[in-house]
Amino acid sequence: MLPVRVPSRDLHASRREKQAAADTRFLIVDEDRQVGRNLSFMLEARGYSEVRSVRSAARAEAIFGVFQPGIVFMELDLPDNANLQLATQLRVTARLRKFRLIALTSDMEHPAREAARAAGFERYLVKPVAQDELDKILCIPSAMSRQAQAPGGG
C-alpha cells in the first residue's frame, strides 16, 4: 500500500483549528459546583484548557472582562433571575467583542426561555449535559458520528 500524502495546507488548517480550540475560553456560571466540575472536565477532555467555573452572577461579572471568554454557559435558574440581568450586563461589558451565551437548564421548556432568548442566549443545554450535546455546541463530531463516518463504521 502506498503512503497517503496530505497536502501541507490541510496540515496547517488542522493546526489552526487546534490552536483556535486551545485559545477558546469558557466561563461556566452555575451555583451547583458539580455541574461546573462536570462541564469543565468535558471541555478539558476535548482539549480546551481555558475553563473557569463560578457559582454566582456577581463573580461571573467580576471576572468576565479580564478573562474574556468566547463561550459562556449560564444556569437559567440563578437566584433572583440574576441570569437575565447578567446576560444583559455581559453584552454591555463586551461591547464589540463577540461571545456565545449558552443556557444551562434542567427543564427544556423553561418558563423564562423567551426572555432568555431576548437577553442573548442562543442555545440550551439540558442538565446533566451529555457529551454529544456539548459537541454539537462546539461543532465537534460526536464519537458516534465519527464511527459512522469511518470505513466499515455502522
Give, rounded to a whole angstrom, the gap between the first and last alpha carbons of the chain.
25
Fold observed for domain 22-149:
Rossmann fold (3.40.50)
User: How much is the pTM?
Assistant: 0.76
Cα-based distances in Å from 18 to 12, 47, 95, 110, 147? 10, 8, 27, 35, 21
**Residue 58 identity (one-letter amino acid):** A
152 or 29: whose pLDDT is higher? 29
pLDDT at 91: 87
